[in-house]
Amino acid sequence: MSKETIEVLVEGGKASAAPPLGPALGPLKVNIGQVVAEINKKTSAFKGMKVPVKVTVDTKTKEFEISIGTPPVSGLIKKELNLKSGSSIPNKDKVANMAMEDVIKVAKMKDDAFFSKTVKAASKNVIGSCNAMGILVEGKIAVEINKDVDAGMFDEVFKAEKTEVSDDKRKVLEEQLKTFNKQFAGELAKMRAAKKAREEKEAKKEAKAAK
């Protein structure tokens, strides 16, 4: 039995016969339409994100198998929180506040990649990514929330693998985010003003040089 495997990166739910998928499958004489439909079905939950896809084709029978990877943790976090990007100043300018239930949801989606034995351990990996992106977890920075995790404060949530967040909790998370960001508001305003001044100065130099 002879098999060939191709690996491509496609947008969730939007695979097509166009490059890179179509040209790679063409020589294998497989039903491209069926492959595309199956990929879109399996990646529909990852709309708006790039997803690694592996297609293994039996070159004799033309039967195929599709395995779907998951986007990077950062991509899943942005999708879950509806963010376009993380913070440019992650230690001071927080762009979101994630519930532990959100963390667990992302951790479960990346379970195979983390090789973690428990949801708790996988969730700590997600918390680390949140920290790098300027995202609080339960109103706290990674060092603080990890102490709470290690102390067992969220063990019941981990055990139940909760992934739903109530509207009331969302409101609390929003207030926690506002409170955290207030402490750096003045400093951030100065930093942004300085950045704007540098950009304007640079633009004037470029305009003068172009004359």
Q: Does 211 score more than 80 pLDDT?
A: no
Domain spanning 73-191, CATH architecture: Orthogonal Bundle (1.10)
Pairing assessment for the beta strands 135-137 and 3-11 based on DSSP bridges? unpaired
For the chain, state the CA radius of gyration: 23
The proportion of the chain whose per-residue pLDDT surpasses 70, expressed as a percent, equals: 98
* Domain regions of the chain by residue span: 3-68, 73-191
- Across the range 20-31, mean pLDDT stands at 90
Which pTM value belongs to this model?
A: 0.70
Q: What is the pLDDT of residue 68?
A: 84
CA distance 189 to 191: 5
CATH class of the region 3-68: alpha beta
Q: What is the pLDDT of residue 90?
A: 93
| Structure confidence by residue, pLDDT tens digits, 78-125 | 989 999 999 999 998 999 999 999 999 999 888 766 677 889 999 999
pLDDT, averaged across the chain = 90
- Sequence-distant (6+) residues with CB within 8 A of 27 are none
Q: What is the pLDDT of residue 112?
A: 63
User: pLDDT confidence of 147, banded at 50, 70, 90?
Assistant: very high
User: pLDDT confidence of 138, banded at 50, 70, 90?
Assistant: very high
CA distance 5 to 170: 44
| Structure confidence by residue, pLDDT tens digits, 161-175 | 988 999 999 999 999
Return the minimum-mean-pLDDT range out of 87-91, 95-99, 148-152, 199-203.
199-203
Pairing assessment for the beta strands 50-58 and 135-137 based on DSSP bridges? unpaired
CA distance 51 to 37: 15
